Amino acid sequence: MHSIVLVLALTASPAASSAGERFASGEVEPALVGMDASRLRKIDRLIEEAIRKQVTPGAAIAIGRHGQLVRMRGYGRTSYGRNAARVTESTIYDIASLTKAIGTTSAAMLLVQQGRLDLDLPLSVYLVEWKDATDRAAMSARHLLSHTSGLPAGGPLTAVGSDRQRIAGVLATIPMRNRPGARYEYSDYGLILLGALIERITGERLDVFLERDLFGPLALEETGFNPLYWGSSRGPSPFRLASATVPLATIAPTERTSSRGVIQGVVHDPIAYRLDGVAGHAGLFSSARDLAVFAELMRAGGVLGEARVFDAEVLSAFTRRQSSSGRHALGWELAREDGPSGSRFAESSFGHTGFTGTSIFIDPEHDLFVVLLTNRLHPNARERRHLDLRRAIHDAVIEALL
């Protein structure tokens, strides 16, 4: 992919070379993009109340409309410790299953554009291990992306161990739940397999492909796998454009476990952890600042400034409902009244959530996006009140429209 020079409506300077520089101008007056400032303050109150009630130790949010930012800020701290770092728009979070959309789905979109992936060809065309898998011979990348593959939702996948080369072979023998295309079932296994498929097509690891072909050209310096190795020539993820390692204090911790202690700076998901922190379903870390850039890319139809990153036809195909009963487009979750985007986002809206307490949603009809990052898993995974917080914030954003 050729080097891309990005010129954004959001930028403070046409020569901006990083996400940080693009957003140096900060938030615009809400009225300029048809939003009410006093109603937007409800979002601040919702997050501050959640922090007081220990729903999460802190949060970061980014809200954009018509190519401008009306909110991008942090609240609270990265943990409940008195000396914990304050959350900012650059605090780095383990974004868990947002990896499926931001990372793996984006990689699939790029490969479709490049003519290297056909969504409807049987997986056996690409994966030699699937040649004799007769009960899943019809399974395609489209089934994986729409969560209709028939594979189980997930599990420990211990047979793979730490050898990512075994993923396709092991998943070729996992008992099927349904025939491909028969019904919807959200599946980590499906996106793990899609990540393996992408690696087989490209001949390189998923993080390397994404860094060179997407995150690097977009200058997303706070996005990638294995943040403790960014800027280093050693470690599990050596291919990184950032110029310096990331201080641990700037990364929000997740769960405290008996086997791993407080998990901070390494992926929470146990399968991704065994696979050097890089998998198709989990492993990405990012900030509100960087995810705002990506959300703006999706809101603007695949164009960022003067650069077209995703073909309009490909983006439309990936964000369109696949069936009347399906909850997913291709890799992206669709809005529904009882879903995480709240009750007021338009039906055409799409996004994704992450187990760690993260989410991104884009509403094309209202021409806006919302990025919300929390580490509700810290210190334990029993906390569930973030689900109501997320819905309330999304509803409040729509309520703030003039």
223 DSSP β-pair partners: none
- Cα–Cα distance, 175 to 217 (Å, whole number): 40
Domain boundaries, the chain: 19-99+208-399, 102-203
- Cα–Cα distance, 377 to 78 (Å, whole number): 11
Does the pLDDT of residue 2 top 50, yes or no? Answer: no
- Tokens representing residue 156 in the block: 């420990």
What value does the mean pLDDT take over residues 66-73?
96
In this prediction, residue 56 carries a pLDDT of: 98
In this prediction, residue 3 carries a pLDDT of: 35
Q: For all residues of the chain together, what is the average pLDDT?
A: 91
Longest Cα–Cα distance in the chain: 62
Non-local CB neighbours of 249 within 8 Å, separated by 6+ positions: 78, 84, 85
- Cα–Cα distance, 199 to 203 (Å, whole number): 5
Vertex 237, ends 166 and 57: CA angle to 5°? 105
pLDDT digit string, tens, across residues 135-164:
999 999 999 999 999 999 999 999 999 999
60 DSSP β-pair partners: 74, 373
In this prediction, residue 231 carries a pLDDT of: 67
- Cα–Cα distance, 59 to 68 (Å, whole number): 21
- Cα–Cα distance, 66 to 52 (Å, whole number): 33
Kind and range of the H or E element at 69?
Answer: strand 68-76
- Cα–Cα distance, 267 to 159 (Å, whole number): 20
Cα–Cα nearest to 352, from 273, 269, 263, 282: 282
Amino acid identity of residue 110, one-letter, is L
For the chain, percent of residues with pLDDT exceeding 70: 89
The half-sphere exposure of 325 on its side-chain side, counting CA atoms within 13 A, is 6
φ and ψ at 348, to 5 degrees?
A: -80, 0
Distances (CA, A) of 365 to 37, 345, 346: 21, 9, 6
pLDDT digit string, tens, across residues 272-306:
999 999 999 999 999 999 999 999 999 999 999 88
What value does the mean pLDDT take over residues 200-218?
96
Cα–Cα nearest to 47, from 402, 291, 371, 398: 371
Does the pLDDT of residue 22 top 80, yes or no? Answer: no
Q: 26-30, 230-234, 347-351 — which is least confidently predicted?
A: 230-234
Which residue is it, tokens 């028939």? 150
How would you write 173-186 as a 3-class SS string?
A: CCCCCCCCCCCCCC
Cα–Cα nearest to 343, from 266, 398, 280, 269: 398
Asked: is 19-99+208-399 a CATH 3.40.710.10 domain? The reply is yes
pTM, two decimals, is: 0.92
Q: Other CB atoms closer than 10 Å to residue 38's CB: what's the count? A: 8
Judge whether 143 and 190 are in contact, CB under 8 Å. yes
Over the Cα atoms of the chain, what is R_g? Answer: 20
